[in-house]
Amino acid sequence: MQHHSPIVPDPTASREQSLDPADWEELRQLGHRMLDDMMNYLQTVRERPAWQPIPAEALEAMHQPLPEFPQDASAVYEDFVRNVLPYNKNNIHPRFWSWVEGGGTPFGMLADMLASGMNPNLAIGDHAPVHIERQVLDWCKSIFSFPPTASGILTSGASMANITALVVARNQILPQVIRQKGLRAAPGQPLIYGSSETHNCVVKGAVVIGIGSDNFRKVPVDAEYRIKIDVLRQMIREDRAAGHLPFCIVGNAGTVNTGAIDDLAGLAEVARSEQLWFHVDGAFGAVPILLPEFAEQLRGLEAADSLSFDFHKWFYMNYEVGAVLIRDSAAHRDAYSSPVGYLAAHERGLAGGPEPLSNYGMELSRGFRALKVWMLLKQNGIRQYEYLVRRNISQSQYLAALVTTSPDLELMAPVPLNIVCYRYNPGNLDEAALNALNKELLQQLQEQGIATPSYTLLEGRYAIRVAITNHRSTREDFDLLIDATIRLGRSIHPPAQNQR
């Protein structure tokens, strides 16, 4: 930080000014303009490119020295409009299909404004916002058929939800003792099992909670990218024989690469017979539980000891909000509650009321992310989500059909859910050249602002990966993607003569 001469006392300081506006009317007008601008921005999103690179001028605006003195709020806003807003990641765009990300909604944006205006801290206390979060958690239990006695907490996303659950699972190795003495008290090396397709955040979680990445046992998958349960059983047997301590199985409801759903009922059965904690990472793939036609594929979800999922992915809610549910609320509470005097609940007054939410998670200070969930679930009703999720699944089938009927394209994996992996294959290149070609093709699709799918490697083969958790996509968007893929692919490397 630069050092300047001592600041001259502000003559207005004697009036004990706060950070509230000196001129409320002026800020109100700016606020109305901001609201109009954002409504227009969202309404016209389809007219803009799916993505655009950040020009040097805008980048420069984001590399300025620390502001020292006040600036006009409208000047700050102009800076935002010119240099930040146009270069959004654009997961709000109808042809954004990268990673697994939702697009939010205008009403969600408004809900966030209300939450931010109220600005409550949900750590503790008797106030409406904590009751709203508890209401939302009760609704989650009802969606996923968890018992009313289960507990839960809203998190920033599925990564935090997974870690929150893994800590509870880990403590069950020796209830009370692990919490107090740490992992050295464990009578063996604790092990977690999940398929080789498990999201990296679970492995990261194993690292963060002191288990270690080597002790997340990656179980191989079958041709449909689902965990091989017989191999899992054998690995558990061998690890036990070697004196290790299996304690948790993680099932996938929707893997990040291909959307595969593990045999959750089978995993629940292994966990029960082996007396292990059964956690399900259902970040997005647990949401089709809303669809009666997915009941069989997701059977076993309701038997999980803990479940993580996101509202910001396939419930299309504004970032960030995920959730974890834990069947055994006492185990959950034991993992996170702490009897410190300054957080003790009282009988009455602000410190009375429901049990502090901070007894169920790592964070003490927490914002009011529950408000948008509450408002959006009310605005749309669960049936609207059922309809939209079903539409995304049928769009992925439509896209897969476009791929399989095009001689230039190749479907790279089964499409059980909402993720389509494909590549352009001109028929006259080796695997390394195909990888390079498809990577170039994807970059051109993005640079030209046509669409933003992402990518993955499936057994070393580069795939263009389209993950559809987008309530704005239409079938025409997928037609456009396929036309552009073929056009760009042919311009980079024309197909072999006999393939046309």
Ligand X SMILES: Cc1ncc(COP(=O)(O)O)c(C=O)c1O
Positions in the binding site for ligand X (CB under 6 A)? 99-100, 157-159, 199, 201, 254, 256, 281, 283-284, 310, 322
Closer Cβ to ligand X, 104 or 322, answer by number: 322
Shortest reach from residue 454's CB to ligand X, in Å:
10
Contact 214, 243 (CB under 8 A): no
Rounded CA separation 134/126 (Å) = 12
Closer Cβ to ligand X, 205 or 266, answer by number: 205
Closer Cβ to ligand X, 254 or 361, answer by number: 254
Any bridge partners for residue 192, and if so which? 216, 248
Count of C-beta atoms within a 10 Å radius of residue 461: 16
CA of 222: how far to CAs of 231, 260, 294, 420, in Å? 11, 10, 20, 18
Rounded CA separation 40/144 (Å) = 36
Rounded CA separation 491/500 (Å) = 14
Closer Cβ to ligand X, 50 or 260, answer by number: 260
How open is the CA angle 278-414-250, to the nearest 5 degrees?
Answer: 10
Q: Which of 323, 297, 472, 498 is nearest to 407 (CA)?
A: 498
Shortest reach from residue 253's CB to ligand X, in Å:
8
Strand, helix or coil for residue 445:
helix
Closer Cβ to ligand X, 41 or 99, answer by number: 99
Closer Cβ to ligand X, 52 or 156, answer by number: 156
Q: Which helix (H) or strand (E) holds 194?
A: strand 190-195
Shortest reach from residue 112's CB to ligand X, in Å:
17
Contact 255, 100 (CB under 8 A): no
Any bridge partners for residue 463, and if so which? 456
How open is the CA angle 150-152-153, to the nearest 5 degrees?
Answer: 165
Q: Which residue is nearest to ligand X (CB)?
A: 157
Contact 136, 375 (CB under 8 A): no
Shortest reach from residue 207's CB to ligand X, in Å:
15
Closer Cβ to ligand X, 173 or 221, answer by number: 221
In 377-468, the DSSP E strands lie at 409-411, 419-424, 452-458, 461-467
Closer Cβ to ligand X, 173 or 286, answer by number: 286
Shortest reach from residue 283's CB to ligand X, in Å:
3
In the DSSP assignment, the letter for residue 314 is T
- Which burial class, exposed, middle or buried, applies to 307 when counting CB atoms under 10 A from its CB (0-12, 13-18, 19+)? buried
Rounded CA separation 71/65 (Å) = 14
Closer Cβ to ligand X, 257 or 485, answer by number: 257
Closer Cβ to ligand X, 256 or 268, answer by number: 256
